[in-house]
Structures are given as structure tokens and as C-alpha cells.
């Protein structure tokens, strides 16, 4: 008997592989960021794109606060062109990270979004910096 999950057939495996592999080029998760940030060179710059007040209340250790509206070509020249940026915002209820990722991509910068954002980080039980 069909249900909301099975009424639409799953994509063929090769198509699913392309889809999910491509998704990994756009996003990462809190656990992967946490693991990378524990190393001397995580290979990316972590940007908290929330406002400065939210950042001051708590953020991912090692993150820099850079709200989307401050992401100008001139501001981003502080980093080499090949620098990978990982952005996050408040969480799944917020599209600030999507907007920031789009802004960075429009500037020609490599970017991924940390899915779950600040809420996801806290849900994982990871420490907060203030």
C-alpha cells in the first residue's frame, strides 16, 4: 500500500549518486566543521553571518563574524582568491547562510554552507565561544 514515502519512486542509483555527491560540494555539517576546526589548518575560513549581537551571545569557536551586507569585493580581498569559506547563520529556520553563500559565490569565492547553523552546532553539544 503506497504511503507518502513510497508513492514517489526513488531515483535510480546513478542519478542519486550524482545528486548527493553534488550536494556535498555545496554544504557540510556541524560535525565535519567541528572535526576540521580541531586541526591546526582546517582548510577554510568559518564565517558566522549573523549580526554582531547574536555573534557576541555565542558562536562557533574560531568563527569570524561577517554579516552578508559586509561581504564586498574589497572586504574579501583580505583573503586569497582560492580561500574556501564556510558560512552559517542561526539555523534551519534562517536563510542568512544561503544569502551569504550566494553573495560569496557572486564574488567568485569558493563557499559551502554549514547545514544546521548555530542551532545545529548547539544541538550537537559542541562548545560555544562568546
Q: For position 27, what pLDDT does the model report?
A: 98
What rounded mean pLDDT belongs to the chain?
A: 97
Q: For position 1, what pLDDT does the model report?
A: 82
Q: For position 2, what pLDDT does the model report?
A: 87
Q: For position 90, what pLDDT does the model report?
A: 98
Predicted model pTM: 0.94
Can you tell me the mean pLDDT for 109-125? 98
Q: Is the pLDDT of residue 86 over 90?
A: yes
pLDDT per position as a tens digit, 1-26: 889 999 999 999 999 999 999 999 99
Q: Are 97 and 122 in contact (CB under 8 A)?
A: no
Amino acid at each position: 500500500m503506497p504511503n507518502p514515502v513510497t508513492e514517489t519512486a526513488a531515483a535510480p542509483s546513478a542519478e542519486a549518486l550524482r545528486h548527493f555527491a553534488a550536494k556535498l560540494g555545496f554544504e557540510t555539517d556541524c560535525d565535519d566543521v567541528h572535526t576540521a576546526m580541531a586541526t591546526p589548518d582546517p582548510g577554510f575560513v568559518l564565517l558566522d553571518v549573523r549580526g554582531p549581537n547574536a555573534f557576541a551571545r555565542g558562536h562557533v569557536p574560531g568563527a569570524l563574524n561577517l554579516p552578508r551586507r559586509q561581504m564586498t569585493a574589497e572586504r574579501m580581498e583580505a583573503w586569497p582568491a582560492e580561500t574556501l569559506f564556510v558560512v552559517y547563520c542561526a539555523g534551519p529556520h534562517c536563510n542568512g547562510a544561503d544569502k551569504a553563500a550566494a553573495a560569496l559565490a557572486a564574488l567568485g569565492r569558493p563557499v559551502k554552507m554549514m547545514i544546521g547553523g548555530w542551532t545545529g552546532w548547539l544541538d550537537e553539544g559542541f562548545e560555544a565561544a562568546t
